[in-house]
Amino acid sequence: MRAMSCSRYGGPEVLELVERPMPAPGPGQLRVRVVASSVNPIDWKLVSGILRPLVPSFPFVPGYDIAGQVDAVGTGVSGFAVGQRVHARIGAMSAGGSAEYALAGVDVTCAMPEGMSYADAAGLPLAGMTALQGLRDRAGLVMRGSTQRVLVVGASGGVGHYAVQIAVAAGATVVGVSSGRNTALVRQLGAVEALDYTVPDVLRGQAPFDIVYQSVGHDYATYLPLLRPGGCFVTPIPGPSTFVRALANPFARNPVRAIMLKSNAADLAVLDQLYEAGALKTVVDSRFPLERLADAWQRSISGRAVGKVIVDVSGDGSADVPAE
C-alpha cells in the first residue's frame, strides 16, 4: 500500500511517499481502507520533535483521523462488517492514518452516520472530541438546555469551530473570537457574537462567562476576570504557566483546566448524533491528495486554517459521497 512516512525529525520536508506492507488487524481491530484523513497540529508537532519525549518510533506514518471502509476484521470483533463506512481517531503513538490502509480499534471507531461524507467524517474525530471533552467533562457544559454563557477563543479553527457548534447545540449562548476574516463564519456556526481579536479591547462588555474555551493562545490570565465565580477556563494547549496555575490552586474561584483528548467511540457517537440532528458540521478549509501531505501540513502550520485540512487518501473521488 502507499503511505506517507518519515524516518527522522523535521518539518514537512521529511515526509516521503513509500510502499508499506498492508497492516494485519489484531484482536479487537479493524483494517480500514482509508478514503480520507485529516491533519491535526499534533501530526507535525510530533514529527518536529518539540514534544519529545513523546516520540514516534521511526519510520512513522502520521495521521490520527481516518474515514473509510472496513476491509478486514480481527478476532473478537462484533458489530462491524467488511464494507461498512467508519471513522475514528486511531492510534495513540502509533498513528498510521496517512496510508491507504490503517488499523482502528473498535473501542474508538463508529459507523458513519447517514448523509456524512468521508471528507467530513475524517475531520471530526480528534478535533471534535477535544472540543466535546473540554466543554462537557472539564468545564461542565450542560449538554441539554444549557443556560451557560461560553466564550470560544480560536472559534474558526479545527477544535474551535466544533466547540462553537457543540455549545450552541447544548443551548448555551456562545461568543466566538476569531480574526475579522472569519467572524461571519463564526456567526453562521451559531455564535451570538463574533469578536475580531485584532480590535483593541474587543472583549470589553462581554463578561461574565461560565466557560472560556481557549484553543489558540496561552494567555489564560486575560480571561480569568471575564469568568463568573465558579466559571471555568479550559484549554487543549496548556503552557507551563497554565499547568502551574491549575496545580497550585485547584480550589480557586475560577478553575483553570487542561484537556488531553481520550479517544473513545462513545464520544464520537455523541458528535455523530449532533451531525444527524443537523447541529454539527465539518467546515473544510482545504483538501490535498495523499502525496501532497507536506502541503497539507504547511497549511496547518500556517495557523490560518479555517476548520479542517482534509487529505484525500484514496483519490478515487469517493470522499464526497454521502453515507447511505
Ligand X SMILES: NC(=O)c1ccc[n+]([C@@H]2O[C@H](COP(=O)([O-])OP(=O)(O)OC[C@H]3O[C@@H](n4cnc5c(N)ncnc54)[C@H](OP(=O)(O)O)[C@@H]3O)[C@@H](O)[C@H]2O)c1
Question: Which residues of the shown chain bind ligand X in the complex (CB under 6 A)?
Answer: 40-42, 45, 126-127, 130, 153-154, 156-160, 177-179, 181-182, 197, 215-217, 236-237, 259-261, 300, 303-306
Q: Write down the least CB distance from residue 261 to ligand X, Å.
A: 4
Q: Write down the least CB distance from residue 282 to ligand X, Å.
A: 12
Q: Write down the least CB distance from residue 224 to ligand X, Å.
A: 17
User: Whole-angstrom distance between the N-terminal and C-terminal Cα of the chain?
Assistant: 27
Q: Write down the least CB distance from residue 112 to ligand X, Å.
A: 21
Between CA 31 and CA 269 the distance in angstroms is 20
Sign (positive or negative) of CA dihedral 309, 311, 316, 318 = negative
Q: Which is nearer to ligand X, 39 or 104 (CB)?
A: 39
Q: Which is nearer to ligand X, 168 or 259 (CB)?
A: 259
Q: Which three cell numbers stand for residue 171?
A: 443551548
Tell me if residue 248 falls in helix, strand or coil. helix
Tell me if residue 235 falls in helix, strand or coil. strand
By the 10 Å C-beta count (0-12 exposed, 13-18 middle, 19+ buried), 175 is classed as: buried
Q: Which of 175, 305, 154, 174 shows the shortest CA–CA distance to 218?
A: 154
Between CA 313 and CA 291 the distance in angstroms is 8
Q: Which is nearer to ligand X, 259 or 265 (CB)?
A: 259
Q: Write down the least CB distance from residue 202 to ligand X, Å.
A: 10
Q: Which is nearer to ligand X, 25 or 236 (CB)?
A: 236
Between CA 96 and CA 66 the distance in angstroms is 9
Residue the block writes with cell 463574533? 194
List Cα–Cα distances, 89 to 66, 85, 268, 271, in angstroms: 7, 14, 9, 13
The residues with which 287 forms a beta bridge, in sequence order, are 310
H or E element at residue 104 = strand 101-105
- DSSP β-ladder status, 173-178 and 193-196: parallel
Q: Write down the least CB distance from residue 62 to ligand X, Å.
A: 13
Q: Which is nearer to ligand X, 237 or 279 (CB)?
A: 237
Q: Write down the least CB distance from residue 3 to ligand X, Å.
A: 23
Q: Write down the least CB distance from residue 91 to ligand X, Å.
A: 12
Q: Which is nearer to ligand X, 84 or 263 (CB)?
A: 263
Q: Which is nearer to ligand X, 77 or 306 (CB)?
A: 306
Q: Which is nearer to ligand X, 9 or 197 (CB)?
A: 197
Q: Which of 187, 227, 190, 229 shows the shortest CA–CA distance to 211?
A: 227
